[in-house]
Structure 1
Amino acid sequence: MKGKIYPTAAFLILIFFQHFYAANNETKKTLNKRNYTPKYAQFNINNVSTYIYNNGEADGDPNGNSGFIYPNGTNKAVIFKSGFIWGGIVNGRILVGGSTYSSGLTPGKVFDDGTTQNPDEESVRVYRVRPDYKSGDLSVESSDENKSIQEIYNQYKKDWNEWPAKFGAPYFDTDNDGIYNPEVDVPGVPGAAQTLWYVANDLDSNVAKELYGSTTMGVEMQVTVWGYKDFQTLDNMLFKKYVLINKSQNTFEDTYLSIWCDPDVGDASDDYVGCDTTLSLAYAYNGFESDYVYGKNTPTIGFKFLQGPIVEGASSDKAYFNGELISGKKNLPMTSFIRLLKNYGTGFDDAWLGNYEGTLDTYNFQKGFDSFGNDFFDPINNNVTKFSVPGDPVQKTGWFEGVDKYGPADRRFIISSGPFTMAPGDTQEVIIAQIAAGGDVETDRLEAVTLLKSYTNLAQEFYDFNFYGDNFSSLVPPKVKAIELDEEIVLTWFDDENISKIESQENSKFKFQGYTIYQFPNDRYHQYEAKEIATYDIIDGIKKITTPILDFDGNTESPIKVVKLGSDSGIKRHISIKKNYLNPETQLNNGTKYYFGISAYFLYNNFSLLPQVVETEYFGITATPQLPKPGNSYEGKYGDYLEVIRDYHNLYFNVIIIDPTKLKAGEYKIELNNSATWKNLTWSLLNSNDSTILVNQKVVVKDSLGIVVPNYVYGLEITPEVFDTTKTPPTKSDIFTFISPGAVIGNTEIAKQQVDEINVFPNPYYGTQVNEVHQFDKFVTFNHLPNNARLRIFNLAGQLIKKIEKNDESQFLEWNLTNNKNFWIASGIYIVYIEMPELNKTKILKLAVVMENVVQDFF
């Protein structure tokens, strides 16, 4: 990875004046400096971090160095610069526009009257949004961009509110009124974790000539960049959609669209490139076994045409355009791939910047010729080809880098699709995936190529399903409740309207598979910090879900990674947690906050290439184990089975205590309807005393996949179990009864008896404690307090140091070890006098405090 300097046309004219003058008299002109300063934003939501500029340039950092960082956070780069170019014939003259090392574009939109936005206007920028910016963790962007979290937040908020939907930026129209409303609608590609958008044009001829000397063609280019996080393989790629509009009065004939790239996989001087014609994929990888930057574990980088230009097709053809499937049309694939060899003089050198000769060279490359417009040959089979090095470097078949005379060096490439015609007002749309793979201890340079191709297959499948569209929004996690018990947390997700929506999800794209429970060290709920506690999945024979096509010897049947490991044990909607899974040797401590998350996961239904798990975001919840609150007592325990008295022995009802805090003491009975078949047999739960119906008309026979309809009442889970469905079902005369213990809530006499349990921890306090998140976050916690209490804290001299009023339902109260003037207290012994007027009780505690000296680490 290094900065590069490229000669301008003015410099080249001085050296090669006679050659260029003969070629075209336009070369007499020097380059014009562009009259604007490009703006940029960074895509960095997943394993990729890169720069996107509003003049079409991409992947180079502002200091002129490689800027496509992979993996994110490593400061190791795989691309120096990339861009998008187009070329065609306008009124008999070849013209080329877009951006490569230089840009021929000016930021801003073209209006109907032919005028353009001022590129220096504040509104002419790269907009960036993420749907969860208000609640999501912004620390990755903060670190990557060297900005404060508040700065990141403010810019997200500004771009959300000012999202240029009226100019073509995508958004989810929540209220379906056709008008973007930042209070209601969601900007960006639906389902994406981060979306960037900008618009540029080539109407300024002076700027247009800075690319390859061509005058303006009259193109407006709208660019959308987006990606996903926490979707495993998709975390290693971003997607780009280029929308080109012919804003001129001229027709573009024999037009081509191209991706240009200067890859630098780590060190710039040792790269190879290649293409896969069956995948419409161009890629770069390391030419040597070891790289100066990455070492032996070098990644690959690739560009794939997911959707090429749309052209006329047969009646049976179908093409994607603007999110729709159009009959009688087709999308062109990659039609040429050109490897550019620096300074070899082979007809595959870099095109000259700022000079019309560069236009002719580039257009020839786009058509699949050398720079002189000649055919070139595959050296292995001696056939004319439009694809450089299309062989397989892993299997060592065909023409691949290393079999000809060119060793590892600084490479570039152009991947093109065409030709097509654009009439005035026509629009073309191209979608590409920019994919990275490897770069870890498990993959070497060629294994990374195989991995890249497997990722490419997934990207194509993802596109074929229209990027799942807003189906992502239908994949939601269950809403979780926490039951806080003595040294125990019980998580439940029974009474949630999402449950039936989640568990009935099965269509051409997704199939519900199960739930996964995680523990986290904090409330940021980072995926990489998640510790899996349990997985409850449907009974369907699918346990180990793997990613195939990853055997680096080419064996497509051998997976290398298990992406989800189920147990085939059936669905549960509750779990008891007594252990700290982040430190398995310890139990949960009362009064300590713990952080959990639950997700639903789904199987990607198309198994043809990459069986893939799609997992929802986590529903995060904070829970604190604790003794019963003052005045409360619980007779039952989580997991206890209640004895059910029955008259029919082929059917049984399991009654389990789930939430001891919700139990209601009493006798209950289960009634059945009269049914000739088990399938139609239902049951109801009634209070034996007054016959109040508590659960009505629930089915008896459970789903064959282990999905049981939730039957949850008064803290109990009630599940029927049939031993033999070939026998005659029971009738309404068959009786099932059970007795439930109860929970006492808010009993004043019990609360008075529990006053002795009031305490403070840690005691003594030695400068810090495990629950503090930073050096200024100092506190002790009082527990077992009633809702209303008054605390007065004195030093041993009898001076009142702090007065605290408590008026909430929590039994806990944190004191931040400051006095009434909000200064930290001194080390010493303190007397805490607690008044509880509603209980007519008082309590006195002694607290020892040893304060540490704290030096601020920022000013």
Structure 2
Amino acid sequence: MTVLFTQRFKFILLILFLSVQVNGQLKKEIPKANTFSSYNYIAINNCKMWVSNNGQGSNEPSGREGFLWPGGEQANKSLVYQDGLIWGGIADSQLVVGGNYYNSFLNAGKVLSNGERDDSSLAKYRVYKIRKDWEQLPESEEKEAFERDYYEWPVDDGAPWIDTDKDGKYTFGTDKPYFIGDEVLWYVANDIIDPSLSLMHSKPIGLEIQTTVFAFNKQNAFNDIIFKKYKIINKGKHQINDFYVGQWADVDLGYAADDFAGCDTSLSLAYVYNSKAYDNVFSESPPSIGYQLLNVSGSKNPMISFTPIITNYSEYSLPHTSLSFYSILQGKTPSVHDQRDPLNGKITKFALSGDPVFQTGWYEGKGWPKGPNGGDRHLVSSTGPFNMNPNDTIEVVLAIIVGNKQGNLTQYNYLLSVMDLKDKALTVKKMFEKNFDWLSSPPSPVMHYLPLNNAVKLWWENDAESYDETDPFIDSRYGSDTTYTFEGYRLWQYSDSSGTDSVLLATFDLKNNIRVIRDYKYYNGALTDVPVIVGTDAGLEREITITSDAFSNYLPLYNYSPYYFGVTAYAYNEYSSPEYLESPVKIIKVIPGQKRIDVTYPYTDNDAVAPLQVKGNSDSRIKFNVVDPTALTGDTYQVIFTSTNDTLKYSLYNKTKDDTLLVNQEDFTAEKSDKPVIDGFILTVEDIAKDSIAAENTKYRVKSILEIKGKDGVVLSQPIDIMNNLNSTNRWQVKAKGTYKRLNWQVNQNEEGLGYDDYELRFTGTSKYYYSGYARSFNPIIKNDNLASDLLPFEVWCIGRNPESTEDDYRLAVKIWDNDRFDSTRTKPDSMWTHLENNDWEEIFAYKSSFDPADPPQTCGNSKFTDHKFGCLAISGELPDPGTVIRIVTYKPLADGDVFEATLKTGNLNDKESAKTNIDKISVFPNPYFGGNDISNEAQNFIRFTSLPRNVTIRIYNIAGVFIRKLSKDDFASYLDWDLQNEDGKRVGSGMFVAHIEMPEIGNKIMKIAVIQEKKYLNSY
């Protein structure tokens, strides 16, 4: 409609809607009911919607369209001109109607206990706006506004809140505003206004309407949805009978004069879509928009009728009396007639309930013979009837959903948007269904641990990551994901083995843009949407080292104190309800501390063992990353590479046990956190050659150019990189010339002749060669050329991937580019290899020939780009000395048949020599003992000797030398406890004691111990 009329004429048209006729004339003005309007908008996702505290919805303060999409804060394309809640019923035997229909017929503020309305100009009756992440916003006026509304949240006026301490009253600083979404608006209004200013001059009822607007910031269907929750309270003195509530909307879908309307009764959805493929605003991708009634108090079916308002179509024209208004809410036409399906003549309360996509039933266009053309459309979906006594409450929850989908055929996009709208509506509807408990949750991860000094290392197995269970309640007609799929892990610490108290330590989730998982929970009797899992979207991890205790304000872990941990796995489906399923937890007990002094390991828990390559020759970085030295087996392992269909994979094979541990792996990253721990280590494989090639422009495969032999063939102790660097005599170097400055010059022709072989220029003999003249391309290089009149002082050889083997070596034919391409005078070809004025020698090209390069024919014949192994190589400076060898080394990616091997050594569990040097690490805890310790309880007090070897005997004496107690052990534990009793089982008194620690074949140690008991006992020996 905004396209059909100017703003002035639109205002006049509104008067037509709302005025009563007087002598055939229409009133020109309607006074505003509320002159103290507060506006705010919600734009946390793809939608932007304005609301006012006087009840107006989807209308900007300036009076323009107020529901915009897409772009959130930056959205500027109209979908709705205005919408609002409307109602009608019988109060005191009189028909009353009200609500927000263009002009607002409400006042801001609540209804007081005496039945009067409060002062609407009070600042506390503004539109409040809160956002979950407001504290993370940069300092700004916007953040200050969020902070003000958060801390001034009007709980006393009805704004929803969470009773954190469960005491039934709002406690500032403890209880919090109730976040139904990521961003929430709230305001309260009432209908107590002068009847002359009310809708259709109807008398006020005494209704208070508390409105909550919320939306989610999620990268899925909910990014195009805004929710509204109306709480309607009858604070008047009269019972209201046959009370209907409706959602009205004047939809301007881009260009407003080409729209169609419809409804879907199964989804309680009323919607508007474009009547044709092209829209003047949205071009070839016009969206659709729908209003879905989700939940209505006391109503089994939220939407009981749908009536469109179609301008310039008499049967569905604009309502202009209370009766016509009420008639629409009852599911009749504005002309107070029953609606009839034009296809069968039957009475219906749901106009246009057919399917325009599949072209069934009554729908606009072909499905409505003699129906109107596309134009301006309004929606009225209603619910009821209700009988409202004073103080009764009705709650209405609805979703405003934008559908938009694009296909290959743009002429159908406007219908695809309807399909998308209904799919989203189905998803939204499921949010209100009960939680399903019939699906099995992911399996509980098996957790392992390694005690460390004041720390514990935890890791777990990856069996849960294959979890993928179908949710049969998801409609898959349009390809929606129907499975719960593994998403991540949550790591917990517990206060004890029973799991009574828990603290979430970390969440490790897949890196897939899924961060917040939400679910509906009951709070104060209301089903509430809350975040239940907040991930980091940083990728999976299965290993972590814990150094602090969550139950002691994150103080460091105490050695030899018990701690309790568990990990859960969870799966996710955005279309399911609930959105996630989580495994039960298996709690483990871990006691940190130093290892026994007679135990040594060849590796620490962070070492990496590099294997040897036993087959092939590749540039790689393969590591056996040690996680748990105590779990290493001493076995020999092989990493074996295979290739099928050009896809390289690797397997891990335990050669000692003839057991394949990993099969067909394709992860070539150094990342350890998402890989399994096997026999105490994590295997990582990097194809550094392939990565290096990919990192270079035009797939440059040359790793280095080395001088490996100098004058007279003397082998250099350290090869010298001579690519743009001087050689060992400082008299010459090698340059790569040509457009790409690459030796594999033919990549310009999409060829890669260089391959992964190495090459040598050997100044140990002479070569016949061919010369090629200048041209503006490399094509002459592959043409038929003549032999030069002289000889080159070197030979060119391909030496294969393995320089140590000569079995695959072969000699290459050579061509010289007989000119200087960068000399504007173009050096005159002389049919010889020439030293140019710029101190460079003419460029060398080498290729594989069908003839013997040692005895080439007079003419070479045409060659192929793939025959050429390298080119554009120039020696700059003097000629290399006879005997010099230059080697071109290429990157060599991992390949089929490569095998690497490593043996991971076990620890020495009886290293007496190490124990002798570490006797001083033996300690006792606590010392002094003050009536208790952090690792014991009242029923069993003790002190603990730590870092002990396997075989040990401890004799305890009092300070006078009297024998008290003998303790001994011969096991793998690193500690031994004294229960503070003597040999007779009686509790010792306070005093000083001496412990004599005897360790066979290691040595002895004497320690003093102070014991201060809570009560004094007589010593008894």
TM-score, scaled to structure 2:
0.47
Which position in structure 2 is the counterpart of 1:177?
Answer: 167
Identity, % of aligned pairs?
Answer: 29
Tell me the distance in 1 between the aligned counterparts of 2:18 and 2:44: 44
1:742-797 C-alpha deviation (Å, 9 max, x unpaired): xxxxxxxxxxxxxxxxxxxxxxxxxxxxxxxxxxxxxxxxxxxxxxxxxxxxxxxx
Which AA in structure 2 matches 1:463? F
Which position in structure 1 is the counterpart of 2:538?
Answer: 597
Distance change (3 Å), C-alpha of 1:639 and 1:366: farther
Tell me the distance in 2 between the aligned counterparts of 1:575 and 1:248: 51
Unaligned residue ranges in structure 1 (runs of 5+): 21-26, 139-148, 311-329, 469-505, 516-534, 550-555, 582-594, 616-632, 660-664, 671-686, 694-732, 739-859
Which position in structure 1 is the counterpart of 2:308?
Answer: 339
Which position in structure 2 is the counterpart of 1:279?
Answer: 267
Which position in structure 2 is the counterpart of 1:640?
Answer: 625
Answer yes or no: is 1:415 the counterpart of 2:381. Answer: yes
Question: Residues 188 and 194 of structure 1 are in contact (CA less than 8 Å); yes or no, is this contact kept in structure 2?
Answer: no
How far did residue 461 of structure 1 move?
1.0
How far did residue 408 of structure 1 move?
0.7
Which position in structure 2 is the counterpart of 1:799?
Answer: none
Bigger shift: 435-444 or 284-293?
435-444
Tell me the distance in 1 between the aligned counterparts of 2:14 and 2:274: 31
Which position in structure 2 is the counterpart of 1:847?
Answer: none
Question: Residues 548 and 611 of structure 1 are in contact (CA less than 8 Å); yes or no, is this contact kept in structure 2?
Answer: no
Which AA in structure 1 matches 2:317? D
SS at match of 1:339: strand
Which position in structure 1 is the counterpart of 2:329?
Answer: 366
How far did residue 185 of structure 1 move?
2.4
How far did residue 189 of structure 1 move?
3.0
Which position in structure 1 is the counterpart of 2:23?
Answer: 18
Question: Residues 18 and 200 of structure 2 are in contact (CA less than 8 Å); yes or no, is this contact kept in structure 1?
Answer: no
Question: Residues 297 and 440 of structure 1 are in contact (CA less than 8 Å); yes or no, is this contact kept in structure 2?
Answer: yes
The count of corresponding residues between Structure 1 and Structure 2 is 537
Question: Residues 34 and 106 of structure 2 are in contact (CA less than 8 Å); yes or no, is this contact kept in structure 1?
Answer: no
SS at match of 2:362: coil
Question: Residues 191 and 208 of structure 2 are in contact (CA less than 8 Å); yes or no, is this contact kept in structure 1?
Answer: yes
Which position in structure 1 is the counterpart of 2:398?
Answer: 432
Distance change (3 Å), C-alpha of 1:640 and 1:366: same
Answer yes or no: is 1:376 the counterpart of 2:332. Answer: no
Question: Residues 538 and 569 of structure 1 are in contact (CA less than 8 Å); yes or no, is this contact kept in structure 2?
Answer: no
Unaligned residue ranges in structure 2 (runs of 5+): 446-460, 493-504, 514-535, 541-567, 583-603, 609-622, 636-655, 662-676, 685-904, 911-918, 926-968, 975-1021
Question: Residues 251 and 421 of structure 1 are in contact (CA less than 8 Å); yes or no, is this contact kept in structure 2?
Answer: yes
Rg larger in structure = 2
How far did residue 153 of structure 1 move?
0.4
361, 385, 396: which one aligns with 1:398: 361
Tell me the distance in 2 between the aligned counterparts of 1:575 and 1:164: 34
Which position in structure 2 is the counterpart of 1:256?
Answer: 244
Tell me the distance in 2 between the aligned counterparts of 1:445 and 1:107: 39
Distance change (3 Å), C-alpha of 1:189 and 1:734: same
Which position in structure 2 is the counterpart of 1:63?
Answer: 62
Which AA in structure 2 matches 1:349? S
Which position in structure 1 is the counterpart of 2:479?
Answer: 559
Tell me the distance in 2 between the aligned counterparts of 1:77 and 1:514: 49
SS at match of 1:436: strand
Question: Residues 294 and 439 of structure 1 are in contact (CA less than 8 Å); yes or no, is this contact kept in structure 2?
Answer: no
How far did residue 237 of structure 1 move?
1.1
Distance change (3 Å), C-alpha of 1:66 and 1:601: farther
Which AA in structure 1 matches 2:319? A
SS at match of 1:654: coil
Tell me the distance in 2 between the aligned counterparts of 1:413 and 1:133: 35
Which AA in structure 2 matches 1:341? I
1:82-102 C-alpha deviation (Å, 9 max, x unpaired): 100110011221111110211
How far did residue 18 of structure 1 move?
3.2
Tell me the distance in 2 between the aligned counterparts of 1:569 and 1:200: 45
Question: Residues 42 and 185 of structure 2 are in contact (CA less than 8 Å); yes or no, is this contact kept in structure 1?
Answer: yes
Question: Residues 536 and 570 of structure 1 are in contact (CA less than 8 Å); yes or no, is this contact kept in structure 2?
Answer: no
Question: Residues 289 and 401 of structure 2 are in contact (CA less than 8 Å); yes or no, is this contact kept in structure 1?
Answer: yes
How far did residue 275 of structure 1 move?
0.3
Distance change (3 Å), C-alpha of 1:253 and 1:444: same
Q: Provide the aligned C-alpha RMSD in A.
A: 4.8
How far did residue 603 of structure 1 move?
3.8
Question: Residues 270 and 409 of structure 1 are in contact (CA less than 8 Å); yes or no, is this contact kept in structure 2?
Answer: yes
Which position in structure 2 is the counterpart of 1:221?
Answer: 209
How far did residue 558 of structure 1 move?
4.8
How far did residue 601 of structure 1 move?
8.6
Which AA in structure 1 matches 2:403? A
Tell me the distance in 1 between the aligned counterparts of 2:310 and 2:354: 18
Distance change (3 Å), C-alpha of 1:228 and 1:81: same
Which AA in structure 2 matches 1:34? A
Tell me the distance in 2 between the aligned counterparts of 1:251 and 1:386: 26
Tell me the distance in 1 between the aligned counterparts of 2:39 and 2:485: 41
Tell me the distance in 1 between the aligned counterparts of 2:570 and 2:507: 20
How far did residue 167 of structure 1 move?
1.5
- Output aligned runs, 1:254-653, within 5 Å: 254-310=242-298, 330-344=299-313, 346-352=314-320, 357=321, 359-402=322-365, 403-404=367-368, 405-438=371-404, 444-465=413-434, 511=441, 538-542=464-468, 549=475, 556-559=476-479, 597=538, 602-603=570-571, 636-637=607-608, 640-641=625-626, 642=629, 644-645=632-633
Question: Residues 33 and 106 of structure 2 are in contact (CA less than 8 Å); yes or no, is this contact kept in structure 1?
Answer: no
Question: Residues 32 and 206 of structure 1 are in contact (CA less than 8 Å); yes or no, is this contact kept in structure 2?
Answer: no
Tell me the distance in 2 between the aligned counterparts of 1:14 and 1:97: 14
How far did residue 118 of structure 1 move?
1.4
Answer yes or no: is 1:656 the counterpart of 2:582. Answer: no
How far did residue 644 of structure 1 move?
2.3
Distance change (3 Å), C-alpha of 1:383 and 1:35: closer
SS at match of 2:261: strand
- Output aligned runs, 1:776-787, within 5 Å: none
Bigger shift: 596-605 or 109-118?
596-605
Tell me the distance in 1 between the aligned counterparts of 2:506 and 2:151: 40
Which position in structure 1 is the counterpart of 2:183?
Answer: 194
Which AA in structure 2 matches 1:126? V
How far did residue 169 of structure 1 move?
0.8
Tell me the distance in 2 between the aligned counterparts of 1:126 and 1:364: 32
SS at match of 1:458: helix
Tell me the distance in 1 between the aligned counterparts of 2:281 and 2:41: 22
Tell me the distance in 2 between the aligned counterparts of 1:645 and 1:509: 39
SS at match of 1:305: strand
Which AA in structure 2 matches 1:134? E
Distance change (3 Å), C-alpha of 1:207 and 1:640: farther
1:406-464 C-alpha deviation (Å, 9 max, x unpaired): 11101101101111111112111111111112166778111111111111111111122
Which AA in structure 2 matches 1:350? L
Which position in structure 1 is the counterpart of 2:83?
Answer: 82
How far did residue 383 of structure 1 move?
0.4
Which AA in structure 1 matches 2:479? P
1:530-571 C-alpha deviation (Å, 9 max, x unpaired): xxxxx978244529999975xxxxxx4451679998699999
Tell me the distance in 2 between the aligned counterparts of 1:304 and 1:14: 30
- Output aligned runs, 1:122-271, within 5 Å: 122-135=123-136, 137=137, 150-190=140-180, 192-206=181-195, 208-209=197-198, 211-230=199-218, 232-271=220-259
1:140-176 C-alpha deviation (Å, 9 max, x unpaired): xxxxxxxxx6111001100011101112111122222
Which AA in structure 1 matches 2:186? W
Which AA in structure 2 matches 1:198? Y
How far did residue 10 of structure 1 move?
6.8
How far did residue 273 of structure 1 move?
0.7
